[in-house]
Structure 1
């Protein structure tokens, strides 16, 4: 049992010294790597997220309602929905979701 304990301690020491050696050898490159990743974050990633947010914001408010075409295979109601008036889906949005007879009037 003691031989197993000594062997495991020897393995831990050898693996720790290898890890310490790897970090000490790469410490000069590590500082440069941190600076480059920080610059990429602030100069590329954050402005890209801002541009995407602006794009979504502008598209949301310039949304035009598509023309209603009463296709026979869309918006089929064989049975009433168990909520509301029975004609609207659960997540109905009057601006973009048409009913079987057309869009709701804008109020």
Structure 2
């Protein structure tokens, strides 16, 4: 089987080499250099070991730094948003008369929206948004 592969490889190389100029044939017709092959394998093994160490480092960084940081930020954000929700709940009890007046550049409607009462945007939230009539 090995001889068959060598024969096919030789046929392929000969057909490719015959199309090349004489200056390239010297590179293809040389015997393999065992020392260079060993050096290549050694270098390739070192690269593989280094990449394993690097991948392990980034896995540890992800597991022990990134994920806990995301969880802590999520907890902090939850607490801040709960305080904000309490504040918004307090603002919902203020009457429209006590609410700050609209300026001429706020809530401009050149034509009515085709949903609802025509005054509220698609993202309108009655608990948060207000449009007091002056």
User: Do the structures match in fold with TM over 0.5?
Assistant: yes
Q: Give the Å deviation of 1:94.
A: 2.0
Question: TM-score by structure 2 length?
Answer: 0.52
Question: TM-score by structure 1 length?
Answer: 0.62
Structure with the higher helix share, 1 or 2: 2
Task: Tell me the secondary structure at the aligned position of residue 107 of structure 2.
Answer: coil
Q: 2:122 aligns with which of 86, 90, 95?
A: 90
Contact 1:80–1:86 (Cα < 8 Å) also in 2: yes
| Rg larger in structure | 2
Contact 1:80–1:87 (Cα < 8 Å) also in 2: yes
Partner of 2:7: none
Partner of 2:111: 79
Deviates more, 1:63-72 or 1:75-84: 63-72
Partner of 1:40: 61
